[in-house]
Amino acid sequence: MSDIAIVTDRGADLTPEQQREYGVTVVPLIVRFGEEVILDDGSLSADDFWRRVERDASPPETSQPSAGMFEKAFAPLVAAGRHVLCPLITGKMSGTCNAAHAAAQRFPGQITVFDTRSLSLGQAFQVLAAATAARQGVSLDAIIQMLEGMRARSHLLIALDTVEYLKRGGRAGKVMPLLDRVARALNIKPLLRLADGEFQVVGAARSMAKAVRKITEEFAALAPAEALAVVHTRRSEEAAALADLLAPAVGLPRDATLITEAGPALSAHAGPGTMAAAMIARPA
């Protein structure tokens, strides 16, 4: 067993199989429907989540884990003599890193919190790389250096079918006025880039098919890639088709491309019909 344990949050969209295979502990995010609080711990499926969205009068809201939830995850690992490395969802759009830092105060010198400045499978790439390196006996300092390199080479593009969910969630305050005006006036699909942990508007398209082409063109210009993923909400067939386009464009085999549907907490902000792609560019 490695001396370093990896703890992350549900924002990484890791599957239960990945959590078991890589030995990663995942702290849930929180989803609320009115007064009902649901832990996004993987037990609420995407199908169940969207059924709730359709029938509930209250739109879903989200919040970060409490410090106590992180303490509960950290305690047994520290008690077992392990140092905890905690790569988390971007701290510029979530208080999750702050909650983990607060929990870490109970375990002086035993917890290292790392802001991936990413989310979903962009975050997952860093989490799984850290878990792999820890198992191989790589030192904490070397793993942090590796993650910093991956973070600098990370790219995430998101095509939204609607801006209403992102607007309600309040996670894109800097770009929301522009997004709202453009989307309402032109009925387009906004294209966002996650840059240094925050959203930037990089373009727009008249249809999702054209947005997908823009994503492919952007990623082809960043090739070659060392890792590639497609994330979606309610667009499984289109996600597979996007992976078919992206893989050869960035120089990776199609079967090496990860595809997943975003979990409830992220879906509550993305809304239905979102298409996104994440890649780690190969070092120069």
Query: Greatest CA span in the chain, whole angstroms?
Result: 58
Per-residue pLDDT band at 182 (split at 50, 70, 90): low
Per-residue pLDDT band at 180 (split at 50, 70, 90): low
Sign of the torsion formed by the C-alpha atoms of 262, 200, 92 and 61: negative
What pLDDT is stored for residue 263 in this prediction?
95
Nearest CA to 267 out of 11, 16, 9, 7 is that of: 11
Res 176 pLDDT > 60: no
Nearest CA to 101 out of 114, 92, 90 is that of: 114
Res 121 pLDDT > 90: yes
User: Both tokens of residue 118?
Assistant: 């990413």
What pLDDT is stored for residue 183 in this prediction?
55
More confident residue, 179 or 8: 8
Nearest CA to 104 out of 11, 27, 214, 156 is that of: 27
Nearest CA to 60 out of 48, 70, 72, 69 is that of: 48
What distance in Å separates the CA atoms of residue 272 and residue 108, rounded to the nearest whole number?
42
The torsion region of residue 187 among left (phi > 0), alpha (psi -120 to 50) and beta comes to: left
The domain ranges of the chain are: 4-28+65-152, 154-281
What distance in Å separates the CA atoms of residue 163 and residue 184, rounded to the nearest whole number?
9
The residue-averaged pLDDT of 112-129 equals 98
User: Is residue 26 within 8 Å of 65, Cβ to Cβ?
Assistant: no
The residue-averaged pLDDT of 201-214 equals 90
Residues near 235 by beta carbon (within 8 Å), at least 6 away in sequence: 208, 273, 274, 275
What distance in Å separates the CA atoms of residue 200 and residue 222, rounded to the nearest whole number?
17
What pLDDT is stored for residue 163 in this prediction?
74
From the CA atom positions of the chain, what is the Rg in Å? 18
Res 174 pLDDT > 70: no
Which CATH fold would you assign to the domain 4-28+65-152? Rossmann fold (3.40.50)
What distance in Å separates the CA atoms of residue 266 and residue 199, rounded to the nearest whole number?
14
Q: What percent of the chain has pLDDT over 70?
A: 92
What pLDDT is stored for residue 190 in this prediction?
87
Which CATH fold would you assign to the domain 154-281? Hypothetical Protein Tm841; Chain: A;domain 3 (3.30.1180)
User: Is residue 160 within 8 Å of 50, Cβ to Cβ?
Assistant: no
What distance in Å separates the CA atoms of residue 115 and residue 123, rounded to the nearest whole number?
9
Lowest mean pLDDT among 158-162, 167-171, 192-196, 263-267: 167-171
- Name the DSSP class of 117: S
What phi, psi does 3 have (nearest 5°)?
Answer: -75, -10
What pLDDT is stored for residue 229 in this prediction?
98
Res 248 pLDDT > 80: yes
The residue-averaged pLDDT of 49-66 equals 92
What distance in Å separates the CA atoms of residue 70 and residue 91, rounded to the nearest whole number?
15
The per-residue pLDDT for range 136-170, each reduced to its tens digit, is 999 999 999 999 999 999 999 999 998 777 666 55
What pLDDT is stored for residue 56 in this prediction?
87
**Type of residue found at 12:** A
